Structure 1
Amino acid sequence: MSKLAVLPLAALAFSAAAHAADIDVQLGSKERVTRLFAYPNNCNVICFRNWTLEQTVEHYLTQSVQRDGYSTAKVSVKSTKNIVHAHISGVPKSYGQPLSALLNAGDLAYNGASKLNSDKKWAYNWYLFLPLGMALENRKSVELLHFPPDYSLTQAQDYLESATTDRWATLLTVNGIAATQTPAYQTIIDIAPIAAPSNAGQALEGVYDYFNDYQTTMVKQVSQTASGAALPMVAFGAPVRNWIKTQYGQTVGVLGLATITPAAGLKVPVLGSNHPSYIWYAADPENYDGDQAKADAAGLKVMGQDLSAACWQAGMGSKPGTDPTQQLNQCTQTWQVTQKEQTCELFYTSVRKLTPDEAAKKCATPEIKSQLPQLKTPMPLPAEHAEHA
């Protein structure tokens, strides 16, 4: 599935006419750009992709302009006297501002990572990795996550290429968002800007304080549009929801709502959610002494919660100004009551890998049908792990 958003043709025609401009953005010294773009992304004697620094920067900036809907935009990156410049055509004149703001926040992340390393808490297989290649301007919603998996950097060179983001993009499409539009909803801020192995979650839980300046700067910048309107935010997983509590004093449980104020006058609605990959853990029979029925019941519960959260994100992002509580009530009613059979079938096709026909038959059996009314009822689940996959 392509991860690059494409605006409808009419919107593109308008965008091209209204916004076409050539801009030059000074990105800084080669040393600065090298560290902020994690260059080289994937070299161990042999480079997986043998790109220059300039090609690497072009790659990520091209992802951004395309995810912003500027499909005809062109990016060219050159270095002159140790200074790296980006020339971007076919974007608004103001487009350099959010790019420069991201890199300035990146300097804060680099300072935090340097301090972490000087305190001997940095691991040999971690990489500083900023959320490069995201939509910089035309965002619909924000996702607050824990950390990016290392393969998004070293293999994909794509922040949105991971099991976590793929699953959530699928849930957004089930909730009416076109697959080409999901990147606009998935602007990610990781509270630990460190690409690390998928099982590094526990080790990373002690590093957040080093990145306070970076985290709060990013949340302030990304959670509002250029005109200052607040964007909806989803906080994924226990470590992130705990961070919201620590940083902003708001408690957000799974499908719990809160409002944070990252900047004066800016009120950002935040929904708590399971981590997108949590369902694989919650539905693992090994967590229930091999009891498949209990594992399925837990998986169905999480599926209902996840579909409801993605529904809220889709609704809030596509219709700015919607009341967050009303939207959440509507979404939980849809996926945990009215369309609970579809929730069931989606669990069995996406997690248990049954065919649609097999899933429909499974969800029609008396033992499963009897569980579906319980989607609205809290039930004990295994504790959320902090791993990212």
Structure 2
Amino acid sequence: MNKVKGILCLLGLVSSGCIWSSSSDLVLGSIPGVSQLYSYPNNCTEICYQPMSLEQTVAHYLNQSLQRDGYAGQVKVRLEDGQVKVQFPDAVPADYGTRVMAFLGMGQSALTAAQQLNEAHVWAYNWRFFLPHGMALENHHSVQLLHFPPDDSLMQAQDYLKSKTTDRWAALLTLNGVPAEQTPAYQTIIDLAPVAAPANVGSKLAPTYVAFTPYVKGMIQQWSQMPQDGQSYPMVAFGQPVRQWLVQSYGQQFQYAGAAKGKAFATLDLGALDVGGRQVAVLGANHPSQIWYAADPDEYGGDSTKADKIGIQVMGQDLVASCWQAGMGAKPGSDPATQLQQCQQRWPVGSAAVCEQFYQSIRQLNPSEAAERCQAPG
């Protein structure tokens, strides 16, 4: 592969001809460049929480991707001639390196944006650049558009899918028929801000959206496309900032029922996003963590009855959204509107089934206690 072609492949601007054999080395880039893209060292201040070398860090995240894509074996990573080189196990398809390099190419654009934000004094001292490493890159079922990753996922877990938010949504997907071991392949996450930050700084990240928009759009284009030409994975847009970003960033490329009337893209609204001529079905959803705020009695002056009522309402919306994601992810060619209708019938508003799930998962009651509380739900 010539130098120009290699650069285009790295940036994700071309795909044809960007093939690396699984038995040969894939050069990720220079040691300093790869260190930045992998947020290395992941969790060190004066003392490293989990001491890992650069080679171990890269291997850690690539192995997560292989596992979530369903491939056996472990990658081998080494530093040589100032570069980071990777060798994949034989079970991995020859074009897997293409996907890795396309992802890192978009990641480089995000890193450049982050550096510019820092120069403009927008970046905060307790933010860390963090790309969605470890996702299923080839055999995923759906895409999740979220706000930003919690800093614990980087600094503690070193796993983008290890947080209260992702754990809760995985449990909802399981309730809707997705085997627990397959939920990571449904949670292929793209964040508006690839910034690991404390959970309470979401509003402070809003000024970064414009800078990261080219990165996010590029990631949506990459990760929403199925191997079959013209087909797309379904996408769920979690939370008001994300739903608003879709409308503002795509304009007429994003269509939903209330658009012509100027209505916001709301929870359980169904939209269609035009991505390079492909139609991506998008469902609006609550942020997975919203229920903990919605069901907090302190938000209503200590009124636990009101907190439970609103919490059950949010739980119902979340069950419908996760049901839609599970169904569309299992059969991407399904009609999105029909799938949504079926999920609303499965989890009816005010039903005992929704009520019981709220009391079991949020109030931590056992099944019999939850059933007793929900004899007359609402």
Query: Alignment partner of 1:189: what SS?
Result: strand
Give, in whole Å, the separation in 1 of the partners of 2:246 and 2:67.
Answer: 31
Distance apart, 1:21 and its partner CA: 4.9
Give, in whole Å, the separation in 2 of the partners of 1:255 and 1:281.
Answer: 19
Give, in whole Å, the separation in 1 of the partners of 2:32 and 2:214.
Answer: 21
Tell me the percent identity: 54
Distance apart, 1:340 and its partner CA: 2.1
User: Which residue of 1 is the match for residue 365 of structure 2?
Assistant: 354
User: Which residue of 2 is the match for residue 12 of structure 1?
Assistant: none
Distance apart, 1:252 and its partner CA: 2.3
Give, in whole Å, the separation in 1 of the partners of 2:122 and 2:97.
Answer: 35
Q: Give the counterpart of 1:295 among 307, 318, 322.
A: 307
Distance apart, 1:351 and its partner CA: 0.5
Give, in whole Å, the separation in 1 of the partners of 2:367 and 2:25.
Answer: 51
Q: Give the counterpart of 2:244 among 213, 232, 242.
A: 242
Distance apart, 1:289 and its partner CA: 1.8
Query: Alignment partner of 2:75: what SS?
Result: strand
Give, in whole Å, the separation in 1 of the partners of 2:320 and 2:265.
Answer: 15
Residues 1-389 of structure 1 mapped to structure 2, 5 A cutoff? 21-70=22-71, 72-89=72-89, 90-228=91-229, 229-249=231-251, 250=254, 251-263=264-276, 265-337=277-349, 340-364=351-375, 366=376, 369=377, 371=378
Give, in whole Å, the separation in 2 of the partners of 1:252 and 1:92.
Answer: 39
TM-score, structure 1 normalization: 0.87
Give, in whole Å, the separation in 1 of the partners of 2:361 and 2:174.
Answer: 14
Q: Deviations over 1:213-246 (max 9, x none)?
A: 1111101101112334200000000010010011
Q: Deviations over 1:234-279 (max 9, x none)?
A: 000001001001111245210001111122x211000000000000
Distance apart, 1:105 and its partner CA: 0.4
Q: Deviations over 1:133-170 (max 9, x none)?
A: 00010010000000000000000000000000000000
Q: Deviations over 1:11-62 (max 9, x none)?
A: xxxxxxxxx9535311000011000000000111211111110110000000
Give, in whole Å, the separation in 2 of the partners of 1:98 and 1:226.
Answer: 12
Give, in whole Å, the separation in 2 of the partners of 1:75 and 1:97.
Answer: 15
8 A Cα contact 1:23 1:96, kept in partner: no
Query: Alignment partner of 1:205: what SS?
Result: helix
Instruction: Tell me which of the two structures has the higher relative contact order, counting C-alpha pairs closer than 8 angstroms and 6 or more residues apart.
Output: 1
Distance apart, 1:290 and its partner CA: 1.6
TM-score, structure 2 normalization: 0.89
8 A Cα contact 2:22 2:87, kept in partner: no
Q: Deviations over 1:149-206 (max 9, x none)?
A: 0000000000000000000000000000000000110000000000000111011112
Query: Alignment partner of 1:200: what SS?
Result: helix
Residues matched between the structures, number: 345
8 A Cα contact 1:144 1:233, kept in partner: yes
Distance apart, 1:82 and its partner CA: 0.6
8 A Cα contact 1:348 1:359, kept in partner: yes
Give, in whole Å, the separation in 2 of the partners of 1:165 and 1:224.
Answer: 22
Query: Alignment partner of 1:280: what SS?
Result: helix
Structure 1 stretches lacking a partner, 5+ long: 1-19, 372-389
Give, in whole Å, the separation in 2 of the partners of 1:363 and 1:23.
Answer: 60
Give, in whole Å, the separation in 1 of the partners of 2:165 and 2:82.
Answer: 37
Distance apart, 1:299 and its partner CA: 0.4
User: Which residue of 2 is the match for residue 376 of structure 1?
Assistant: none
Give, in whole Å, the separation in 2 of the partners of 1:198 and 1:175.
Answer: 27
Give, in whole Å, the separation in 1 of the partners of 2:23 and 2:145.
Answer: 32
Distance apart, 1:293 and its partner CA: 1.2
Give, in whole Å, the separation in 1 of the partners of 2:24 and 2:353.
Answer: 48
Structure 2 stretches lacking a partner, 5+ long: 1-20, 255-263
Give, in whole Å, the separation in 1 of the partners of 2:73 and 2:279.
Answer: 33
8 A Cα contact 2:268 2:317, kept in partner: yes
8 A Cα contact 2:312 2:355, kept in partner: yes
Give, in whole Å, the separation in 2 of the partners of 1:24 and 1:258.
Answer: 42
Which amino acid counterpart does residue 311 of structure 2 have in structure 1? G
Query: Alignment partner of 2:193: what SS?
Result: coil
Query: Alignment partner of 2:136: what SS?
Result: coil
8 A Cα contact 1:23 1:93, kept in partner: no
Give, in whole Å, the separation in 2 of the partners of 1:65 and 1:120.
Answer: 37
8 A Cα contact 1:252 1:271, kept in partner: no
